[in-house]
Structure 1
Amino acid sequence: MRRAPDGRRPPLACDGRYPLRVALLTYKGNPFCGGQGVYVRHLSRELARLGHTVEVIAAQPYPVLDLDEGVTLTRLPSLDLYRQPDPFRTPRREELRDWIDALEVATMWTGGFPEPLTFSLRARRHLAARARALDTFDVVHDNQTLGYGLLGLDRRIAPLVTTVHHPITVDRRLELDAAQGWKRRTSVRRWYGFTQMQKRVARHLPSVLTVSGSSRQEIIDDLGVREDRIHVVPVGADTRLFSPDPAVPEVPGRIVTTSSADVPLKGLVFLVEALAKVRTEHPQAHLVVVGKRPEKGPVAAAVERYGLGGAVEFVKGVSDAELVDLVRSAQVACVPSLYEGFSLPAAEAMAAGTALVATTGGAIPEVAGADGETCLAVPPGDADALAVAVRRLLGDDALRRRLAVAGRERVLRRFTWEQAALGTVQRYREAIAASPSTRQRRPAGASPRIPE
């Protein structure tokens, strides 16, 4: 049990046991692109609300955190080689601080993606220095870095838990399938070279959390992690933020989706094609994409080919309140992904009370539920099926209302951040009990070092 500086015992956490001090590592915390920043923000907040002390240790782009809840941020800067507006930049010589910086630049220059490796090395060095100064954590929680720096950390520094949302090998496979020409395929293979490291590291991790049964099976198949080391702890929506509001007017024909346009896995090109079909019967139909507008590529080409320049809008960097109102204003929310390890956009749309059309790719059915009950479900990569489902919802007010109510009820029952935090803390305590670093710090004959 960790005591306060004045020697007093800390107040109990919400589970009636003593609180934990958690280091939450994230090599990329952008809250507006991908799910990692969303995960770190909401999980850290809910852990703090349960009474635990959470320190997020992050590289650029730094996460947006709820600091007023007691979460703290420690910046562990990289060279930020992919920052806008100058991605793939060459840093000035005086920016290079050590050999890890040199490795980061060299990997980028040769077409690879260095951040998972270099962040893990910096994080290990940082945590080791803290441990030498007796500034220790009860548990270290890695958010899908899977870098070599994590190896042996649970034996030497602190108990380790790692979240794998889904194996990036899935992204690699889909990008290779979509790549045209040998040059592009070679480039994709080099960029995803870090997945070989992640495979090797994952097999040695003592405790892996993932967000769905689908992701669990992918981790077993793709990464070779033992089944007994993987635990499913679903994430969820912020149901206080994403909630229905009758004061927000519904915009006729509005379809909303969250997508990285240049990532084949997200399936946006199929939704654009579906929109062209829908507009033959519903000319007011239009699509709002939460994401960056592509200047070129399959999505940009599809928008131009179907003459949808005025019917597809891209928005990025919106505030939480703006995002929620955008989802509330839509008649249809859509998740067209070919694969998802969980699908936060699906859970958030359902929580906001917006009728959902979703594919059956990956874990999406685990979140969205059964076709016709809580959503309309379609096969991934099928623009015709997407068009049929969207047309059906746009033309049936009663169906939209029924799915909206049932969808929110499903999220409230199964997918909230408080439930995710409670499940995560349970796994923390199990990892602490089993960790070699815990046993090494425990006096002979002492009881297990598990906060009571």
Structure 2
Amino acid sequence: MTAEAVAAGPRSGAAADAGRPLRIALLTYKGNPFCGGQGVYVRHLSRELARLGHTVEVIGSQPYPVLDEVGDAPAGGPAPGVVTLTELPSLDLYRQPDPFRTPGRDEYRDWIDALEVATMWTGGFPEPLTFSLRARRLLAARRGDFDVVHDNQTLGYGLLAPLGAPLVTTVHHPVTVDRRLELDAARDAKRRLSVRRWYAFTRMQKRVARRLPSILTVSGSSRREIVDHLGVRPERVHVVPIGADTSLWSPDASVPEVPGRIVTTSSADVPLKGLVHLVDALAKLRTEVPEAHLVVVGKRAEDGPVARAIERYGLDGAVRFVKGISDAELVDLVRGAQVACVPSLYEGFSLPAAEAMATGTPLVATTGGAIPEVAGPDGETCLAVPPGDPGALAAALGRLLGPGGAELRARLGAAGRARVLDRFTWARAAQGTADRYREAIAAHGARR
């Protein structure tokens, strides 16, 4: 008997058949598509799953995800499905311009809201837990509406309850990595205590992850971290690489190249992103390449290591931060750069690397985490440097921006784009994810 036959039931068994469209609930407790990888993942994966014929209902909290039009199905494929958004609001305690706000009495709706505020008041981060509790309540009320539930790194206790459909969870990388790096960078005991309290939710995520039947991740490096840090059995963790939207992120010779421009993406001034090391490298580089300057896609922190480094080196005029720009403006910003840089100490995948490579912009990247899996071999598709080494970053940037760098930039840029087209596209990611859904549905039916 086939696995699909074992899974047979009035609806889920039919959905497990290879040619049958699936009804997917895609959960995301944070959906910002312009800052951080979770929103980007939901946006592009949902679109490509729908292009394969599936129906995707994204269930998300603030900031709500931006979803794309589905467009045409692949040649020879089924008719495209649909993508819809169901808003599952939190109290949005970290919204700008008033993060860590105290909500008004009339904003409280139930005990989950009270839990959310109490956790914030005591220095913790409540959203993974409280979103999971709200999602459990919604899914219980809609039992039978979905063939599979796909959680995007919430890992909250609420998702351990029966959800009416098999659960597949994506873990981009264990947040315990972020916790370790922030503790290492903490300057005093008070800061270390604050970091431990903020990341207290990782204890919950460890407990939940160990009980999940199917975890997807985006790289071999992340898979090893999930097994080592979260204690998940290796056979339960499956790698499905993600990628770039190569129709958007593409070369365009009409966009002028800006001499000396280096572009990077940094969603927050945290040690993980390594931005302070890139600022240190820029100071060194400008002694030899005076026109070198940095454009950071992300919000400028008014205080912190990066702000202090910019002030220390007198780089106010050489470092610019941009945020809130359109996709087209962002792509042209990268196209116009002579070099893209990923200075992170660790990444579970690195979408900015894949996207920059897809435009044909040459890349300098560290070897932190999964970045080498994306960026490829040093000297062939990128220039690779050790994480946390400003001198190595400055030397690599100097090779590309100094005399004779044009030929190397052209060679690395072309090879980088070819690598992304061959390995890292959202269409491939969607097909691999759908295959894992069907395996989860079959296994769920076999256990019943």
Find the aligned partners of 1:439 and 1:377 in 2 and give their Cα distance: 46
2:32, 2:63 within 8 Å by CA — same for their partners in 1? yes
Q: Among 221, 246, 254, which residue is 1:239 paired with? A: 246
Q: Which residue of 1 aligns with 2:22?
A: 20
Question: 5 Å matches for 1:204-353?
Answer: 204-353=211-360
Find the aligned partners of 1:222 and 1:97 in 2 and give their Cα distance: 36
What residue ranges of structure 1 are gaps of 5+ in the alignment? 2-11, 441-452
Find the aligned partners of 2:105 and 2:444 in 1 and give their Cα distance: 41
Find the aligned partners of 2:273 and 2:303 in 1 and give their Cα distance: 16
Q: Which residue of 1 aligns with 2:41?
A: 39
Give 4+ residue runs of structure 1 displaced > 2 Å after superposition.
Answer: 67-70
Q: Which residue of 2 aligns with 1:365?
A: 372
Question: 5 Å matches for 1:109-148?
Answer: 109-131=121-143, 134=144, 136-148=145-157
Find the aligned partners of 1:319 and 1:47 in 2 and give their Cα distance: 24
Deviations for 1:264-299, whole angstroms, at most 9, x for unmatched residues? 100000000100111111111000000001100100
Q: Which residue of 2 aligns with 1:74?
A: 86
Q: Which residue of 2 aligns with 1:86?
A: 98
Q: Which residue of 2 aligns with 1:151?
A: 160
* Cα shift at 1:409: 0.3
Q: Which residue of 2 aligns with 1:52?
A: 54
* Cα shift at 1:67: 4.2
Deviations for 1:219-269, whole angstroms, at most 9, x for unmatched residues? 000000000100000000000000000000000000000013411100000
Q: Which residue of 2 aligns with 1:107?
A: 119
Q: Among 400, 410, 432, which residue is 2:409 paired with? A: 400
Find the aligned partners of 1:177 and 1:204 in 2 and give their Cα distance: 29
Question: TM-score scaled to structure 1, two decimals?
Answer: 0.92
**SS of 1:374 mapped into structure 2:** coil
> Which piece of structure 1 moves more, 254-263 or 409-418?
254-263
**SS of 1:427 mapped into structure 2:** helix
2:18, 2:438 within 8 Å by CA — same for their partners in 1? no
Number of corresponding residues: 424
Find the aligned partners of 1:338 and 1:92 in 2 and give their Cα distance: 40
**SS of 1:25 mapped into structure 2:** strand
Deviations for 1:131-176, whole angstroms, at most 9, x for unmatched residues? 1xx4x100000000000001143xx511110000000000000000
Q: Which residue of 1 aligns with 2:169?
A: 162
Find the aligned partners of 1:231 and 1:317 in 2 and give their Cα distance: 34
The amino acid across from 1:140 in the alignment is V
Question: TM-score scaled to structure 2, two decimals?
Answer: 0.93
Find the aligned partners of 1:177 and 1:296 in 2 and give their Cα distance: 19
Find the aligned partners of 1:375 and 1:289 in 2 and give their Cα distance: 20
* Cα shift at 1:68: 5.1
1:142, 1:160 within 8 Å by CA — same for their partners in 2? yes
1:196 aligns with 2:196: no
1:209, 1:231 within 8 Å by CA — same for their partners in 2? yes
* Cα shift at 1:435: 1.0
Find the aligned partners of 1:266 and 1:82 in 2 and give their Cα distance: 21
The amino acid across from 2:360 in the alignment is G
1:433 aligns with 2:439: no
* Cα shift at 1:217: 0.3
Find the aligned partners of 2:257 and 2:225 in 1 and give their Cα distance: 39
* Cα shift at 1:16: 6.3
**SS of 2:400 mapped into structure 1:** helix
**SS of 1:435 mapped into structure 2:** helix
2:51, 2:70 within 8 Å by CA — same for their partners in 1? no
The amino acid across from 2:305 in the alignment is P
**SS of 1:381 mapped into structure 2:** coil
Find the aligned partners of 1:254 and 1:341 in 2 and give their Cα distance: 26
1:261, 1:299 within 8 Å by CA — same for their partners in 2? no
**SS of 2:325 mapped into structure 1:** coil
1:261, 1:268 within 8 Å by CA — same for their partners in 2? no
2:26, 2:152 within 8 Å by CA — same for their partners in 1? yes
> Which piece of structure 1 moves more, 260-269 or 226-235?
260-269
Q: Which residue of 2 aligns with 1:97?
A: 109
Deviations for 1:342-385, whole angstroms, at most 9, x for unmatched residues? 00000000001100000000000000000000000000000000
The amino acid across from 2:102 in the alignment is T
Question: 5 Å matches for 1:409-420?
Answer: 409-420=418-429
Find the aligned partners of 1:439 and 1:206 in 2 and give their Cα distance: 11
Find the aligned partners of 1:220 and 1:176 in 2 and give their Cα distance: 21
Find the aligned partners of 1:191 and 1:40 in 2 and give their Cα distance: 25
Deviations for 1:307-332, whole angstroms, at most 9, x for unmatched residues? 10000000011111011000000000
Q: Which residue of 2 aligns with 1:9?
A: none
Deviations for 1:82-136, whole angstroms, at most 9, x for unmatched residues? 00010000001111100100100000000000000000000000000011xx4x1
* Cα shift at 1:188: 0.4
1:116, 1:146 within 8 Å by CA — same for their partners in 2? yes
**SS of 2:332 mapped into structure 1:** helix
The amino acid across from 1:272 in the alignment is V
